[in-house]
Amino acid sequence: MSAFSYHIDRMKHVLFLLDFMLKKQCPPRWGLRRRAINRHYLVFVAGGSLELNWNGAWLTMEAGKYALLVPGDVVEARAVSAEPPEIVLLAFAYYEAPARANAGNTKRGAAEEPAADAENASLFGSRSRGLQAYGAPVMKLLRQLEAAAEERDDMGQWRRNMLLQQLFFAMAGEARSGARTHGGMREAIRRLVAYLDEHYMQEDLSLQALAESYGISWSNFSGIFKKYVGVRPIDYLTRLRMNHAKARLLQPLRMEEVARQVGYRDPLYFSRIFKKTIGVSPSVYRKNLDREHIVTLSPHVNDYLLALELQPFATLPYAGNDQLDGLLPYIADKLKDIRIIGERPQDWEALIRANPRMILGSDGGGRARLSPLSNIAPTVNVPLKDDWRSLLFELSALLDRKAQYTRWIRHFEQKAAGARRRLSRELRREETVMVLIASANELRVYGGRRQLGEILYRELGLLPPRGITLQDHYTCVTPEQLIRFDPDHIFLATTNSNLNRAQVRELLESDAWHRLSAVRKGNVYEVQSWLNGHAPIQHSLSIDIALSHLLKGASR
């Protein structure tokens, strides 16, 4: 079904707003580089034709056809006819209200809150979209929209939004009319696709016999199938088999068995088809399964991926002074085989050739200059936050790793609970523990809001010094002010911006330092700067290191 025939009932409660309209006469040999779509678009072909690569499948868009693109789609286009294509591009947003009027729940664009049914999270579900034909009423409205684009005042904007609403009404009407006219053929194709989905593994599967069994002429089958599904039947079957093959390559099966289970007698022929369709041979794909060609623009995100039992394909270098071969030191051994990329042109060229599946970005400073990567693969922003658990869960949902998330959280909580029990037996209840970080120009006493303080105070249940709370991030102090906290234990580290130990040496030599109870008792534990972070593996190692130091301190 088209997006409009499937969602007509919902569209009755939608207000469409035009962001901009572009009419373009494309030059000869015109092309559009592959990119991820970040808003809603309608693309109409008014003349000529073009080929559109839509989420991995090449489709021919001729004059009189349109496509609906939604955020997350990955597209590429090129002119293929002697007559350069003429396209009309509409960018739009929409407000969707529930069937029962409730102004407080109005949504903008795709739903802002996650829906239980991912298919219905947006008005335009992915399984209900494909190339559609449009007629004279739609063309007339497009011309009216073009004329209205010259009206620059508020009334002109109002008029354009009214015309856009009429445009969607006209397209929905055409879709419904087409559904009535072609309902029998549409149902036959639907049933045929369902049969392929269930019986793709049959080696003797005959598309001709299958088409004829559903009452479809073999001479017309390919065109009819492509009209309703968007790709040729052989391409649909091949892609279906390859997707199932990728799932079987996760298992310890011989290549011959993988080929047989997806409908190929000859494993060599299967290998050729797999490489042609996926881009790499089955053996190379299996070798790189744990990487999945994910690129990270923040070195700290690599910690989260490893916790989800994934390795990135490439990453930007870690710039801390404690870096090890461009990697965070505590996970460098796990990432020793991945590619470190910089900003040289040859780095990006190699990345393009590698055809990454996804790029995980970051809000980090200076990363905006890397936004052109969205032309290489879908880019997902990964804002690092205090709540590392919620970020780990979001990534697990994005990468289909919820089982790994559950396994990691269970392991972490068991480790934390065991450490709490041991510390409760070894430390006195009133003993206090401080996190002290020496930066380039200040001393910071950390609270329990994030980083190492969160592990000590929230996960291990230790007592912060007087005046420090679980809600604090950090408080800047002088060496003389430390005496007012006077902790029983001190975890001391530097920050990565601290290029030398001059400030630490000055602190350790001060009279105020030697008056502290933790110093007199020998309960000062110098730890690596990376320990004061907020990521899953980092926190797990923090428990081990903190437990080791505190148990040694308690035994003295």
Q: What is the mean pLDDT of residues 355-374?
A: 58
Q: Is the pLDDT of residue 179 over 60?
A: no
What does the pLDDT read at residue 367? 44
Give the integer Cα–Cα distance in Å for 107 and 63.
34
Mean pLDDT, residues 89-97: 86
Question: What pLDDT is recorded for position 521?
Answer: 92
Amino acid sitting at position 153: D
| Higher-scoring residue by pLDDT: 321, 409 | 409
Q: How confident is the model at residue 194 (pLDDT cuts 50, 70, 90)?
A: confident
pLDDT on residue 8? 61
DSSP letters along 210-238, please? HHHHTT--HHHHHHHHHHHHSS-HHHHHH
Three-state secondary structure readout of 359-381: EEECCCCCHHHHHHHHHCCCEEE
Confidence band of 105 (pLDDT split at 50, 70, 90): very low
Average pLDDT, the chain: 81
What is the pLDDT averaged over residues 294-308? 89
The H-or-E segment that residue 275 falls in is helix 267-278
Residue 369, pLDDT > 50, answer: no
Query: pLDDT per residue over 483-501, tens digit each?
Result: 999 999 999 998 866 656 7
Query: Which tokens hold the place of 520?
Result: 């007199």
Bigger pLDDT: 507 or 230?
507
Provide the pLDDT for residue 350.
Answer: 64
**Whole-angstrom Cα distance, residue 163 to residue 158?**
9
Q: What is the pLDDT of residue 114?
A: 36
Strand partners of residue 41: 69, 91
Digit-coded pLDDT (tens) for 436-445: 998 877 899 9
> Residue 139 — very low, low, confident or very high, per pLDDT cuts 50/70/90?
confident
Say which DSSP state 455 is in. I
255 — pLDDT class (breaks 50, 70, 90):
very high
pLDDT score of 504 more than 90: no
281-288 average pLDDT score: 76
Mean local confidence (pLDDT), 522-549: 92
Residues pairing with 89 in the sheet: 22, 43
| Position 113 confidence tier, pLDDT thresholds 50, 70, 90 | very low
Longest C-alpha distance within the chain, in Å?
94
- CA distances from residue 339 to 83, 106, 317, 335, 351 in whole angstroms, order as listed: 44, 45, 9, 9, 10
Query: What's residue 483's pLDDT?
Result: 93
Q: Beta strand pairing status for 443-446 and 433-438?
A: antiparallel
Q: What is the pLDDT of residue 260?
A: 93
pLDDT in tens, 391-438: 898 888 777 788 888 889 999 999 999 999 999 999 998 999 999 998
Is the per-residue pLDDT at 222 higher than 90? no
15: phi then psi, degrees, rounded to nearest 5: -110, 120
CA distances from 211 to 51, 162, 201, 321, 549 (A): 26, 44, 17, 65, 72
Angle of the 154-181 helix axis to the 183-199 helix axis, nearest 10: 80
- Read off the pLDDT band of 309 (50, 70, 90): confident
- Within 8 A by CB and 6+ apart from 253, the residues are 261
Query: Does the pLDDT at position 249 exceed 60?
Result: yes
- Which DSSP letter does residue 324 get? B
Residue 395 CA to residue 374 CA, distance in Å, equals 18
- pLDDT at residue 444, rounded to an integer: 92
In the predicted structure, residue 385 carries a pLDDT above the cut 70: yes
DSSP structure class, residue 487? -
Q: Which residues pair with 107 in a beta bridge?
A: 96
Token reading at 214:
């559903």
Average pLDDT over residues 247-260: 84
pLDDT confidence of residue 283: 85
Provide mean pLDDT across the span 230-259: 85
pLDDT band at 5 (very low <50, low <70, confident <90, very high): low
